[in-house]
Structures are given as C-alpha cells and as structure tokens.
Amino acid sequence: MSEMWVNMGPQHPMTHGLWNLRVRIEGEVIKDVEPEMGYLHRGIEKISEDRHYNEIITLMDRTCYVAGLAWEQLFIVAAEQALHITPPERAEYIRVLSAEFQRIASHIMWYAAFVQDIGLMTPFLYGMRDRDLILDLFQSYTGGRLTYEYMRVGGVRNDLPLGLTDRCRKVCDWLMDRFVEYDRLCLSSTPFHERCDGLGVLEAPEAIAYGVTGPMLRSAGSRRDLRKDRPYSVYDKLQFDVATATTADVTGRYLVRMEEMRQAVRIIRQCLDWLDDHPGPVMAAQLPRWLGAPYAPVGNEAYLLKRNYPTGVGFSMVEEPHGEAGAYIVNDGGEHPYRVKFRSPVLINIWASKRYLPGYRVADIPPIMGSVDVCVGECDR
C-alpha cells in the first residue's frame, strides 16, 4: 500500500482529549507524525490578566482537569512569591497532601486510559473505582470532585475536617493493595509485554534536548524530579525516593508511574502524621485586604489599590503528575497580575512524538501516546 496521511483526531479514541495527530503511514508503519494542538485553547493566560489572584485558582482547576490541585499549587507558589506572602506551615502540608493525592488520582486516571488503549477493559474500571475513593476524600474537605478551588493565596480555604486523616490512611492502605492488583493485571501478562516492551523509546539525552520531563524522562534513567532537585513547599522535609526505570519505553513509563504512586502514598502518610501533631492556622495572618474580597473592587478603588501594594515577580516550577509545570507571574501592584505564563509539560512531551513515534506501527500509537499521559486542557490552556 502506498503512503497516506491519516488524521488521528481531533475526535478519535486515541487522543484522550481534543487534538489531532496527523500520521503518515506506509502500510502499517509510521513514517512521520505531526501533532496539531490548539483545539482546546481557552486563553487561560489572557483571562488571568483580568482576574483576582484568588479567582485565577478556579481557572487552574480547569487547566488540567485531572490534576486540578497540582496546578492550583503551581499557581499559588508563584503568586505568593509575587505578592510577598508566606503561608503557614500547616497549609503547606495540606497542599502537599492534596497534591500527592492528586498525583495518585491522575496516575490512576492515566492507568485506566492507558490499559483501555491496549484493549484491557477490566483494569480501566478498577482504576476508575479506586480513583473515586480519592475524589470522595477531596469532596469531604474541598467540596469538589473535579474542580476544587481549594487553595488560596496565603494558605488553603479551610482546615481538614475531623477524622479526615484517619480516612486518608484507610484509603492509602486500600490503594497500596490495589497497586499490587494493577501490576498483577498488567505486568504478569505476556500480551501486555508484547504490546509495551521496547515501544516509543526516547533516551535521556534526546528527552532532555526536547525538554521532555516527568515520568517520560525518569523512565529513561534520569533522576530529575523537581521535588528533590528544586524543593518547593515542604518537600525537603519529607522522605521519598525518585522513581526511575531504565528502558525508556512504554513499560518503563508504566513502572515509573506505579512506583510514583507508591512513593506518593509514602509522602501522604508522613503528611498525615505531621498534620495530626501540629494543629494551627491554615491562612496567613497578614493578607492584603482585597485578597479576601469576593469581588474585584470597582472604579477608583482599583486605581487606588494599584498604588498601595508592592510589586513583584513570581516564578514556580512544580513536579506535576505529567511532568514539570512552570508558572511566571508579573505583579505590577494591582489586584490582577500584569502577565501570567504557564509552561505545560504535556505540550512538550507530545511535540517530542516526532522523535519517538516514527518507525513503529499504527497499532503502537495508542500505547505510546497513552504512555505520554496526555491532558489537553493544560496543553492548550
């Protein structure tokens, strides 16, 4: 059969979102690929210029709809830097707890979607079932299951309800059992290895050259993890290992994510112990008045406020479930940021597909692209 271009997207079961992978195939062999992004662009960076800092948090939930709290944390770290606010330590621990639970939820979501891509239906439903437990936890202390709007500049919205830490511990125990089950369903099955071993290989030097981060980079043996290399929040006080693999292929990414979930449980357990022992405030005491205001001030007041507060620049990098996310905020003294810029790890990881897809077969596209963990919301922003 001669060469032809096939559009895998924008509406295609492989894409997990709204994007288009144009593939040039000869028979079943991939010759070239061309990702087309932008179908889900909502102008979040631009909208942010017209929002209160605390209102931008609602946008962060919608940036990546499977890792809302991780993106809230990303924005909060940069915003607090730009506004010269220090949150209380308890709030930091609650944020780390939330972010790590979010990491597990996101990785389980990835697992469910990924196994669906290679034709396994049962683990998909197991994954969704177990993710629900984490969403239940989120619901009980943030009120939301998908869009949380929980973190605030200067802390978090509310403290954990009574008894939540014990519930979290129970969920952690249950999850640790389930991870064993996940591995048994996948790693112990020969067809799984036939579909995943040696596919989508992206070695560490190439990955770094492309700017690929997160589990994709760590699966190539690199030990880069922002939580260790550039610790933010309270990660420097917590013990955990960086999950790595050596094969740089789909199976490697699977192993890295599975190990990351176990390490996340380890971090969560430490956070829970700390939170039990250290009650205290969860919001900073000295906050600008307008940060607590529900609505933007109108008229002259906004002009006046603009004069009254310090200016600053905030930059944060966070090890988000998909990779390294970055936020850059310029505060020119107003109640809105002057400019906001986000770095999406998924966008870079998808663009590197020009390197790691050609040469494989059409049937390999779903496992390979599935192993990237695509979240188009953060990709297009």
Partner 1 sequence: MSTITLFSASDAIAAFLLAHIAYVFPAPVKGWITSGDVVLGLASLIFGVILLGASMINTIMLIWWERKLLGRFMDRRGAMHVGFAGLLQNFADGLKLFRKDTFRPSKADSLGFWMSPTAYMVTSVVIFGILPISTGWNGGSLPLTLLLALVIFSFAPLFIFLGAWASNNKYALIGGMRSAAQMIAYEVPILLAVVAVVVLSGSFNLTTIVLEQRNYWFWAPLFLALIVFLTGMLAEMERIPFDLPEAEAELVEGWNTEYGGMLFAFFMLADYVRYLVGSILVVLLFLGGWTLPTYVPSALTSFPLAGIFWFMVKAYLVFGGFVWVRASLPRIRTDQLLRLGWMRMVPLALLSVVLAALVVAAHCLPVLGCVPSMGG
Q: Exactly one of 6, 135, 296, 302 binds partner 1 (CB under 8 A); which one?
A: 6
In the bound complex, what is the minimum distance in angstroms from residue 80's beta carbon to partner 1?
42
Tell me if 117 contacts partner 1 by CB under 8 A: yes
**104 or 115: CB nearest partner 1:** 115
Tell me if 146 contacts partner 1 by CB under 8 A: no
**243 or 357: CB nearest partner 1:** 357
Tell me if 192 contacts partner 1 by CB under 8 A: yes
**190 or 300: CB nearest partner 1:** 190
**1 or 285: CB nearest partner 1:** 1
Tell me if 122 contacts partner 1 by CB under 8 A: yes
Alpha helices in the chain (DSSP H): 44-48, 53-63, 68-83, 89-117, 122-142, 164-186, 190-196, 204-210, 215-218, 226-229, 250-277, 300-308, 345-351, 353-356, 365-372, 376-380
Residue type, 206: E
Tell me if 135 contacts partner 1 by CB under 8 A: no
Q: Report how far apart, in Å, the C-alpha atoms of 330 and of each of 83, 311, 312 are.
A: 10, 8, 6
Q: Exactly one of 161, 170, 189, 301 binds partner 1 (CB under 8 A); which one?
A: 189
Residue 358: alpha-carbon gap to chain centroid: 27
Taking residues 352 to 371 in sequence order and writing x for each that binds partner 1 by CB under 8 A, - otherwise, the string is ---------xxxxxx---x-
Tell me if 121 contacts partner 1 by CB under 8 A: yes
State the Cα–Cα distance between residues 379 and 148, nearest whole angstrom: 20
Tell me if 126 contacts partner 1 by CB under 8 A: yes
Q: Report how far apart, in Å, the C-alpha atoms of 335 and of each of 72, 305, 310 are.
A: 18, 7, 11
State the Cα–Cα distance between residues 250 and 45, nearest whole angstrom: 32
Q: Exactly one of 3, 13, 304, 359 binds partner 1 (CB under 8 A); which one?
A: 13
- Residue reference for tokens 């087309």: 36
Q: Report how far apart, in Å, the C-alpha atoms of 101 and of each of 131, 152, 276, 337, 339 are.
A: 10, 18, 17, 29, 30
- The piece of 94-102, 156-164, 191-199, 286-294 that touches partner 1 (CB under 8 A) is 191-199
Tell me if 223 contacts partner 1 by CB under 8 A: no
Q: Exactly one of 119, 205, 280, 281 binds partner 1 (CB under 8 A); which one?
A: 119
Beta-carbon contacts of residue 206 (< 8 Å; ≥ 6 apart): 352, 355
**126 or 141: CB nearest partner 1:** 126
Residue type, 216: M
In the bound complex, what is the minimum distance in angstroms from residue 125's beta carbon to partner 1?
4
In the bound complex, what is the minimum distance in angstroms from residue 23's beta carbon to partner 1?
10
Residues comprising the chain, all counted: 381
Query: Rule CB under 8 A: which residues touch partner 1?
Result: 4, 6, 8, 12-14, 28, 115-122, 125-126, 129, 185, 189, 191-192, 194-195, 361-366, 370
